[in-house]
Structure 1
Amino acid sequence: MSSITYGGQSYQCKEHETVLDCLTAHDVTIPSSCHAGLCQTCLMQAVKGAVPANAQAGLKPTLAAQNYFLACACHPEDDMEVMLPQSGIEKLTATVTAIDALNTEIVSVQLRPETSLTYKAGQFINLYKDSTTVRSYSLASVPEIDEHLLLHVRRLPNGQVSHWIHQALKIGDSVEISDATGDCFYTATDLDQSLLLIGTGSGLAPLYGIIRDALAQGHRGTIKLYHGSKAVESLYLSKELESLSGQHGNFVYQPCVSGSTVPRGFASGRAHDVAIKENPDLSGWRIFLCGHPEMVSSGKKLAFFAGASMRDIYSDPFLIMDKNPATVC
């Protein structure tokens, strides 16, 4: 059993616990969001003790060299003394310029950063409600097309940040955000490659950005989008996507409904099942999966077994921490 020292206090870390688990169990508040080593919100720095290599996966080499690590991914092998970073993740101030309802559950939030933010459509940023309450949201905006950052925020039960955004955030408010990160975005490496994009719920956000980015860069290959939900009312941006399909002959939009009532023009079934059924041979395709973690996991396997290379499968699972309602987005 290792000892974790933070703020002058030492805590015993159980064998199965991460540094974040240990500190949280002792009522120490550490900024965190995904609990999966993706968003880097729980970045900490080791003052003493060795940092396991897997706790630094995905960090910039300059941060790893300074003993920064992700608390949610760190299973300590020895005693450690840790602290919150004095620097590392730079916060930017942004102004809310628009909030619009996309359906009864999801709003579109536009943000104007005070300083320039370099990003690619489909990456994500962290949005801070306060110093310790933060969540990650994917970017639906395209820097060459959209003037402001664009997020799609679904209101979730017990979601501290999503409820704040839906109920309290106003146009003109200032918020803090992080730089953009993530590798789920389009690159113009092969303009003739076929693209398959599968999303559920607000997982459409990064896909909407990726599609518009690909088309703006002159992508010539087939682009197919399957967006799914249990009920047709939960789908959104249908008119915009149908219009985009009408303007670009290589773009196909297929809405999917897995519930009992399926209107004409909608595919019946889960989006990833429909997508694989209609495209059984994905050899040479590039795949993007965004939304519910179970869909993303299942979709990866189905795409791989259908012939897609793992290096051509990009994903953005929208993680929901059901075991702790306080951490739900």
Structure 2
Amino acid sequence: MAAVTCNSLTVSLADNETALEGLLRAGVDVPNSCRGGACQSCLVRAVEGTPPPASQAGLKDALKAQGFFLACICRPTADLSIALASDAVPRVPARVRSVERLTADVARLTLHCDAPFDYRPGQFANVVRSDGLSRPYSIASLHGDEPYIEMHVRKVPGGQMSGWIYDDAADGHELELRGPVGECFYTPGKPHQPLLLVGTGTGLAPLYAIARDALRQGHAGPIHLYHGAIDEAGLYMVREMQSLAANHQNLHYTACVKSPREPLAAPSADLRIGELEQIVLSDLGSARGWRCFLCGNPQFVASLRKKLFLAGTAMKEIHSDAFLMRPTA
């Protein structure tokens, strides 16, 4: 007879009883609705033990890789220790390592963690200042290869956190990281599948991490990364991306600007002029069989997600993190 542990409470399950039924019987308040594996409101994460494959049916690979499963259809055959989705985000003390200003409004922030911080390259974490101010930023570093957390922060006019990071944060400033969160990261298993990575603004940060992680894990299929901005001033790390692509035959980097500040004699192969969405869809043609990662402006992400689906990409193969802007970012 299997048992499920949640919040230090262990529940022995009856024959054929689901994890959700057992937890509710024991008084654990687990969100739920359909109880048939469709609504996903009972999503929980395995902290110890392996959930049965049937309990992960219909979930994206990114969620499966993090140990998430549906409690309502989970009938474990071995003991499980779980965390509710609302309690699954750890907190880790961190300190500012460096702040490098890449452009007039984008900074590369690197952090040193005072305890292990387990993440997948491309996920995001909430950066919490000592006064409690919190903002989410995507992770651009590679876990295990780089001994720090890298994030790209755009300075927003009037932004409390972004302005502080860009102008005032210094080595040694104490922070807290809460996370990681998000489904935008590379999962192995289809090494020859073509990958499409599209981002606007600092949406480049997670895509930069995902592309490098895919290459690190031996992805052999083509990887096409598009970074879009209104004009050249909105682009950053161009030389770094060009160098990365030059060193990996299957990686293709394209920068796109909607309205160049200076007339160009002729657009180059890695600098295109026009609407990012139109350029991507025109280059792609049929999107069937692709795995896609979309990051940046929420309206852009929602629009491109829909059009990629209509062009043939399976919805489970479209991973996205829209950057939601607050008035005091």
**TM-score, reference length from structure 1:** 0.73
- Aligned in 2, Cα 1:308/1:69: closer, same or farther, shift over 3 Å? closer
Q: CA deviation at 1:49?
A: 9.7
2:16 match: none
Q: Give CA-to-partner distance per residue, 1:88-112, whole Å, 9 cap, x none.
A: 6432111211110111111001111
Q: 2:293 aligns with which of 288, 302, 324?
A: 288
CA contact (8 A) 1:141 1:150 kept: yes
Give me the whole-angstrom Cα distance separating, in 1, the residues matched to 2:322 and 2:150.
18
Q: CA deviation at 1:270?
A: 2.4
1:270 match: 275
- Aligned in 2, Cα 1:52/1:256: closer, same or farther, shift over 3 Å? same
1:112 match: 112
- Aligned in 2, Cα 1:191/1:111: closer, same or farther, shift over 3 Å? same
2:251 match: 251
Give 3-state SS (helix, strand or coil) of 2:181's partner. coil
Give 3-state SS (helix, strand or coil) of 1:241's partner. helix
Give unpaired runs (5+ residues) of structure 1.
1-46, 71-86
- Alignment of structure 1 residues 48-59 onto 2, 5 Å: none
Give me the whole-angstrom Cα distance separating, in 1, the residues matched to 2:44 and 2:166.
32
1:187 match: 187
1:175 match: 175
Give me the whole-angstrom Cα distance separating, in 1, the residues matched to 2:134 and 2:42.
21
Give me the whole-angstrom Cα distance separating, in 2, the residues matched to 1:168 and 1:295.
31
Q: CA deviation at 1:158?
A: 2.6
Identity of aligned residues (%): 34
Give 3-state SS (helix, strand or coil) of 2:180's partner. coil
1:314 and 2:311 correspond: no
Give me the whole-angstrom Cα distance separating, in 2, the residues matched to 1:55 and 1:131.
35
Give me the whole-angstrom Cα distance separating, in 2, the residues matched to 1:153 and 1:171.
16
1:98 match: 98
CA contact (8 A) 1:199 1:289 kept: yes
Q: CA deviation at 1:194?
A: 0.3
1:297 and 2:299 correspond: no
Q: Give CA-to-partner distance per residue, 1:187-229, whole Å, 9 cap, x none.
A: 1110100001100000000000000001111111010011000
Give me the whole-angstrom Cα distance separating, in 1, the residues matched to 2:253 and 2:305.
20
Number of residues paired by the alignment? 262
One-letter identity of the residue aligned with 1:308: T
1:165 match: 165
Q: CA deviation at 1:138?
A: 0.7
Q: CA deviation at 1:181?
A: 2.0
Give 3-state SS (helix, strand or coil) of 1:180's partner. strand
One-letter identity of the residue aligned with 2:239: K
One-letter identity of the residue aligned with 1:164: W
- Aligned in 2, Cα 1:160/1:244: closer, same or farther, shift over 3 Å? same
CA contact (8 A) 1:51 1:69 kept: no
Give me the whole-angstrom Cα distance separating, in 2, the residues matched to 1:236 and 1:166.
15
Give me the whole-angstrom Cα distance separating, in 2, the residues matched to 1:295 and 1:241.
22
1:198 and 2:198 correspond: yes
CA contact (8 A) 1:56 1:68 kept: no
1:216 match: 216
CA contact (8 A) 1:56 1:69 kept: no
Give me the whole-angstrom Cα distance separating, in 2, the residues matched to 1:187 and 1:67.
22
- Aligned in 2, Cα 1:67/1:181: closer, same or farther, shift over 3 Å? closer
Give me the whole-angstrom Cα distance separating, in 2, the residues matched to 1:51 and 1:67.
12
- Aligned in 2, Cα 1:241/1:57: closer, same or farther, shift over 3 Å? farther
Q: Give CA-to-partner distance per residue, 1:29-87, whole Å, 9 cap, x none.
A: xxxxxxxxxxxxxxxxxx9999675896655479x9999787xxxxxxxxxxxxxxxx7
**TM-score, reference length from structure 2:** 0.73
Q: Give CA-to-partner distance per residue, 1:262-303, whole Å, 9 cap, x none.
A: 643221122222111111111100000000001100110111
Give me the whole-angstrom Cα distance separating, in 2, the residues matched to 1:128 and 1:251.
35
